[in-house]
């Protein structure tokens, strides 16, 4: 199978947006978890 011959551009763009959104969501969840941990430890801004 030849690479990049069977995937249309919109499918590639969809995967790019999906991976970007998943990474942003993962960073957000990590940040939220750190905030909860710091609040539980008594560290407030």
Give pLDDT, residue 43.
82
Give pLDDT, residue 7.
83
Token pair 């560290």 is found at 43
pLDDT one digit per residue (tens) for the chain, 45 residues:
566 678 899 999 999 999 999 999 999 999 999 999 999 998 876
d(CA 8, CA 18): 16
CA 10 to chain centre: 20
């Amino acid at each position: 199978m030849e690479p990049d011959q069977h995937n249309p551009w919109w499918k590639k763009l969809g995967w790019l947006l999906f991976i970007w959104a998943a990474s942003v969501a993962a960073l957000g969840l990590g940040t939220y978890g750190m905030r909860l941990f710091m609040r539980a430890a008594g560290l407030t801004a």
